[in-house]
Amino acid sequence: MYNLLRSILFLFDPEKVHYFSMDSLKFLCRIKFIRNSIAGIFQPKTSFQPTVFNLKFKNPVGLGAGFDKNAKYLTELEALGFGFVEIGTVTPLPQAGNDKPRLFRLPEDKALINRMGFNNDGTQIIVERLKNWRSKQQTTNNKQRLIIGGNIGKNKVTPNEDAWKDYEICFNALHEYVDYFVVNVSSPNTPGLRELQEKDSLKKILTTLQAENVKKQIQKPILLKIAPDLTWEQIDDVIDLSLEIKLDGLVACNTTIDRNKLNTNNSTLNTIDAGGLSGKPAKDKSTEIVNYIYKKSNGQIPVIGSGGIFTAADAQEKINAGASLIQVWTGFIYEGPAIVKNICKSLSPKK
Ligand SMILES: Cc1cc2nc3c(=O)[nH]c(=O)nc-3n(C[C@H](O)[C@H](O)[C@H](O)COP(=O)(O)O)c2cc1C
């Protein structure tokens, strides 16, 4: 069924289809009966309900950052069974992102390339939306809560030496309304951002947020999202720093700039040009990095595995490599709305 729908949707511009599909779902979900029916169809049944960084997840399958950048579709994503949704990347001020087109499908590789450039509504509007959503949550007396991650970044115009201030602004603004934070310094689409993965810059940003965190009544877990294109030495630095400052976890990995071993022909790739590659071709490297972190840290750093997860087998591979939770994004586009249910059906904890 979804195969047919996908072949129709794939005839149109990817970014327009994204908003058209989610707005249509939102429209349908306004009617309680339809929303409950959708939830009835897509809710996974699983006893795999991990507690990670002191948060209880109703299932280990989350939606990666960048899908619901503006926290507009939380009710609908909850109906589709996600255990957690990472909103953002949120920047202090709203920004339009890069020129369109900026999202491309690579069907022969079951992949996407994007150079969105942190298009988002900014902290102020997004906080209002989260506030609203949370107040409705309380009145609906939700038993198994959807966990919300806040993925934060810097505005394009902010120079790298001041980047920590942008992260601090986002952290303080969102603190009351998200369950955990992810510091995104690994998107390839904001010029110079990935230089912040260098140890000193990372330490400045992360320790600033930790210092803010202890001032709050309730502390929120802080994670760091890394690029799959780091060298092993750089990953060693990230692991050392994470242990040194007692970071709550890592997300491995963001999209890659590597274009090796793709089936899509070079002329198409040249036309698409720059951007982060996600989906099937990103799977193995991200699993390798998850496993490297797990082994090097003796399992001391919880990792959210992200990259090329389409099926239960892909998810199990990440869990067996040492991931505590997993996230999908490109797989959701290719596999459709039953992806969470299908993954949960046969996913089990690491043995
Ligand atoms: C269109 C698009 C936009 C994305 N935007 C963000 C973002 O804003 N912040 C972020 O941390 N990751 C972003 N990502 C990366 C995903 O969260 C995920 O880490 C990556 O795509 C690898 O997972 P996948 O192979 O399952 O897609 C984006 C990915 C895509 C495809």
* Average pLDDT score over residue span 321-335: 98
Pocket test residue of 21, 182, 278, 287 for ligand 1, highest count of atoms within 8 A of CB = 278
50-54, 116-120, 138-142, 149-153: segment of lowest average pLDDT: 138-142
Q: Specify the 3-state DSSP secondary structure of 279.
A: strand
Which helix (DSSP H) or strand (DSSP E) does residue 179 occupy?
none
CA–centroid distance, 278 to ligand 1, in Å, is 7
Token pair of 139 as six digits: 């009145």
**Mean pLDDT (whole number) for 52-81:** 98
Residue 158 lies in a domain: yes
Strand partners, 226: 252
Q: Are 171 and 206 in contact (CB under 8 A)?
A: no
pLDDT tens digit sequence for 266-320? 999 999 999 999 999 999 999 999 999 999 999 999 999 999 999 999 999 999 9
Residue 52: half-sphere exposure toward Cβ, Cα within 13 Å: 32
Cβ(66)–Cβ(332) below 8 Å: no
Residues 190, 119, 131, 20, Cα dihedral to 10°: -140
Residue 265 lies in a domain: no
Range of the domain at 10: 2-97+121-255+279-344
Q: Ligand 1: which residue has its CA nearest to atom 7?
A: 66
- pLDDT confidence band for 261 (50 / 70 / 90): confident
CB 178 within 8 A of CB 211: no
CB-based burial label for 192 (10 Å; 0-12, 13-18, 19+): exposed
DSSP states of 68-115 as a string? STTS--HHHHHHTT-SEEEEEEE-SS-B--SPSP-EEEEGGGTEEEE-
Closest CA to 272 of 104, 109, 119: 104
Query: Ligand 1 centroid to 253 CA: how many Å?
Result: 9
Tokens of 103: 């999202």
Residue nearest (by alpha carbon) to ligand 1 atom 4: 66
Give domain status of residue 129, yes or no. yes
Residue 269 included in any domain: no
Q: Give the Cα separation of 77 and 57 in Å (integer).
A: 15
User: Is the Cβ–Cβ distance between 22 and 332 less than 8 Å?
Assistant: no
Rounded CA gap, 67 and 283, in Å?
18
Q: What is the CATH number of the domain that holds 147?
A: 3.20.20.70
One of 186, 187, 306, 324 is an active-site residue; which one?
Answer: 187
Decide if pLDDT at 350 tops 60: yes
pLDDT at residue 142 in the model: 59
Task: Give the end-to-end CA distance of the chain in Å, rounded to a whole number.
Answer: 34
Ligand 1 atom with least separation from CA of 280: 25
Residue 266 lies in a domain: no
Is 187 a catalytic site residue?
yes
Q: What is the pLDDT of residue 351?
A: 77
Q: Model confidence at 139, in pLDDT bands (50, 70, 90)?
A: low
Which residues have C-beta within 8 Å of that of residue 13, sequence separation ≥ 6? 101
Residue 205 lies in a domain: yes
For residues 280 and 229, is the Cβ–Cβ distance under 8 A? no
Cα–Cα distance, 39 to 30 (Å, whole number): 13
Number of domains composing the chain: 1
**pLDDT 10s digits, 4-36:** 999 999 999 999 999 999 999 999 999 999 999
* pLDDT at residue 140, as a whole number: 58
Residues within 6 Å of ligand 1 by CB: 64-66, 69, 88-89, 103, 112, 114, 116, 118, 151, 184, 187, 225, 254-255, 278-279, 282, 306-309, 328-331
Structure tokens given for 14: 């990817």
SS3 content of the chain, % helix, strand, coil (to 5): 45, 15, 40
Other residues' Cβ atoms within 10 Å of the Cβ of residue 339: 27
Count each helix (H run) and each strand (E run) in the chain, helices first: 13, 13
Ligand 1 atom nearest to 306, measured from its CA: 23
Q: How far is the CA of 205 from the centre of ligand 1 (A)?
A: 21
CB 131 within 8 A of CB 165: no
Inform me whether the pLDDT recorded for 141 exceeds 60.
no
Average pLDDT, the chain: 96
Closest CA to 147 of 54, 227, 286, 219: 54
For the record, the structure tokens of 275 come out as 């951007």
Q: Are 181 and 119 in contact (CB under 8 A)?
A: no
Give me the pLDDT at residue 1, please. 85
Instruction: Please report where in the chains the tokens 């899908």 appear, as a residue.
Output: 67
Please indicate, yes or no, if residue 114 is contained in any of the structural domains.
Answer: no
pLDDT over threshold 80, residue 143: no
Is residue 154 included in any domain, yes or no? yes
The pTM (predicted TM-score) of the whole model is: 0.97
User: How many Å lie between the centroid of ligand 1 and the Cα of residue 307?
Assistant: 8
Inform me whether the pLDDT recorded for 217 exceeds 80: yes
| pLDDT over 60 at 104, yes or no | yes
Q: To test ligand 1's pocket by mutation, which of 68, 194, 329, 334 has the most ligand atoms within 8 angstroms of CB?
A: 329
